[in-house]
Chains A and B, each alone.
Chain A
Amino acid sequence: MKSTRLRIPMRAAPYVFLLPFLGLFFIFGLFPMLFSLFLSFQSWEPTAGLGSMQYVGWSNFTFAMSDEWFWKSFKNTLWLTLASGIPQHLLAIPLACFIHTAFVRLRNLAVGVYFVPYITSTVAIAIMFGSLFSTDYGLINQGLQQLAKLPLIGAIFPQQNIDWINNPDHLKPVIAMIVFWRYVGFNIVLYLAALQTIPEDIYEAATMDGASRLQQFFHITLPSLRPMIYFGVTLTLIGGLQLFEEPFILTNGNGGSDQAGMTSAIYLYRMAFDFNDFGAASAMSWILFVIIAALTYLTNRAFRERSNVKEAD
């Protein structure tokens, strides 16, 4: 250690470490936030230039709160978040544990395979799933048709081709499936990274004490994973409530028949870029912000109840 170097005192240390990040954040992160907040109180047609903004007080917010489509899209979003998020974590945790213990040489491959959907391009996904779920010729319906022909169990399968994409009732499950497919691998990677930090000795000690695999899972693994679960669930919550890409590409940007696939984010996007109402779109994004923040706070509370000893603060 060079003694001529200036030593950062402990009290100043956090600020020094945060400086680069915060510097960038204030310029590139905060300004757009404030702009959007300001815009939510204005009426604005962007092609007319910045000067054409007109102050309209709370009217954008009152419009949003009384707008049928706003709440419709929010309900869709909630449904999709739960329907795609819960299975993601229910599957990712056991799977990560299984891969962690069962595969040694093939571990990379196993995780890789599940991670591949995350890196598949959205364009490819759109074409693929559009083709797979096609009513008359899609592979899924063809498969179901074959299954329906089987004796006995064939009866539980639908006899007609299902219209997956254009029927409002079917579109939502399809989207949930795609989102699940896309992100389950992401969560496996997160949990696997966390599993790496649990020392083997604890498991060995537990085995010696006579604990079964299942007991070890519930009493050692899960509690140790708690911070990562909190992280993963928060991300899924935030990501789910802001779901945009998958339904957007599946419905060609319009949210589908009867707006079945229109999430809040898609509606917001359409408000701004299709219906040219930037003021209302900003107001809606802030209403959404409040809702998501509240839900995130509740999640935070739920996970902090019995906080891990290692957690700072």
Chain B
Amino acid sequence: MQGTIQWRRALCRVAQQLPCILLAALLSPAAHAGPTLTVAAFPAVDEIVRAAMPEWKKIHPDVEIKVVSRQIVDHHSAMTTALSTSSHLPDVMTLEVGYLGRFAQGGGLEDLGAPQYGMHNYQALYVPYAIAQATSKNGAISAAPSDIGPGTLLYRTDLLARSGVTEAELNASWDSFVDAGIKIKQATGAYLVSHVQDIKEIVIRTGVRPGEGLYFDAQSHVLVKSPRFVRAFQLAKKVRQYKLDARSTQWSTEWSESFKRGTLATQMSGAWLAGHLENWLAPNTAGLWRATQLPEHGWAGFGGTFFAIPKGIPAQQKQLAWELIKFLTQNPKMQLAAFKDQNAFPALLSTYNDPFFDQPIAFLGGQQARLIWREAAGHIQAVAVHKQDKFAEEVVNTELDKVLDQGKDINAALDDAYRLLEKRALR
């Protein structure tokens, strides 16, 4: 009776300890004397940091680096949790650009512009828009950029050739882009874009005034009725009218299949897509793709990684963390290594003179595409971030769908979006 229950409980306790004992026996590394830096990251940044460890050891032999890696969304959830309780914070926090604005505004990250870090002395080393992305309204620089994702337009030369379309026609203006699409569809049956949303995303980013965000301005006024939105919707409508988009969501089976089968003529994305096409998405199409700038000089960034230092860690860890961040982001050797191994486009300007950029890329038919991307990196504008941006994005997408699928009037749609966003702008 009771005895059995007690026996069970004791067994539980032993069972609890056993793995710990075993583990301790198995693991027991030699006790590490010097300090340890914990870096919280996600794939593939974790690989980049790990690859940098041998070089780091040469300069700081007594500082151990420990990388804690999680899936990207999980990572940011864990970081949110850690920041919310100021507990179990890493020494170096990796942040993806989509989350950077929010974390920076939260106030839990060190201002790297402060004298003990002196980021203001270094900021000219980096691609300007990346620094701008890390700078908040009050001038604090919350993170150091590590890699960026310059936007590019990848297109199939063979499909263009068959349709008699030149590259210049493709990116001279949005209108010529759409016209080219009509020709391509007629001649080859291939779609121009995978989804009209890609076009919308880029067009709404053109003509953003300094200090303005995408959907809200600095005073939280809603901007969705401005001309850039109207134009984006009009272009999208035209593209859908002529059935130029494949209506496939990115990273779906249909999307990847359209690359393999050559039913998609162009794709707007970060430069890193070329690597994926080559590795696993459509290796059979090697040599058929080329890269060019986005239509009508629609400079845009697709992703980007930053390193930050949380406020809640001990002071001496902060200094060491800053050393590591400088090492990873300001050392050309490290930046280039990340570029070569993980396709992480450097944020450090001095690397842009490296001969690696001049190398032809076989998958793109020997094109020196990195030069194109390097040029794009210099033109991208940073856009101010607002708390309700994610919600706004969703609302605009919904209204766009209604315009395209249900024939809703564009102005009515934008009015509805305006109404919804106005209610939330000040939350």
Contact = CB atoms under 8 A, between A and B. Distances in A.
Interface of A: 1, 5, 43, 45-50, 52, 63, 66-68, 130-131, 134-137, 163, 166-167, 252, 254, 257-259, 273-277, 280
Interface stretch (B21-29, B104-112, B296-304, B328-336): B104-112
Contact of B420 (A1, A47, A68): A68
Given A63-B427, A68-B420, A257-B401, A130 B253 contact: yes
B398 A137 contact: no
Interface residues of B, number: 35
Contacts, number: 80
Contact of A137 (B106, B253, B387, B427): B253
A46 B254 contact: no
A201 to B, nearest CB: 32
A131 B254 CA distance: 9
Q: Is the interface of B mostly helix, strand, loop or mixed?
A: helix
B253 A45 contact: no
B401 A280 contact: no
Contacts of B291: none
Given A45-B106, A63-B427, A136-B254, A276 B84 contact: no
A130 B249 CA distance: 11
B257 A137 contact: yes
A103 B390 CA distance: 54
Contacts of B391: 274-275
Contacts of A277: 427
B203 to A, nearest CB: 20
Interface string B358-401: 00000000000000000000000000000110110010001001
A277 B425 CA distance: 12
Contacts of B316: none
Given A131-B253, A137-B254, A47 B394 contact: no
A47 B84 contact: yes
Contacts of B405: 167
A167 to B, nearest CB: 8
Contact of A134 (B107, B252, B398): B252
Contact of A46 (B81, B247, B249, B402): B81
B84 A254 contact: no
A15 B345 CA distance: 64
A254 B395 CA distance: 11
Given A5-B1, A46-B106, A136-B254, 8 more contacts: A46-B83, A47-B84, A48-B108, A52-B106, A66-B423, A134-B252, A259-B394, A280-B427
A50 B253 contact: no
B77 interface: yes
29 contacts: A46-B83, A47-B83, A47-B84, A47-B102, A47-B105, A47-B106, A47-B108, A49-B83, A49-B86, A49-B106, A49-B108, A49-B312, A50-B84, A52-B106, A52-B107, A66-B423, A67-B423, A130-B252, A135-B247, A136-B254, A137-B254, A137-B257, A166-B247, A167-B405, A252-B249, A254-B394, A257-B398, A276-B387, A280-B427
A1 B1 CA distance: 9
A222 B334 CA distance: 71
Contacts of B105: 45, 47
Interface string B1-24: 110000000000000000000000
Given A68-B420, A258-B402, A259-B398, A50 B247 contact: no
A-B pairs with lowest CB-CB distance, top 9: A47-B106, A46-B84, A48-B106, A47-B83, A275-B391, A274-B390, A48-B107, A47-B108, A47-B103
A272 to B, nearest CB: 9
Interface string B231-266: 000000000000000010100111001000000000
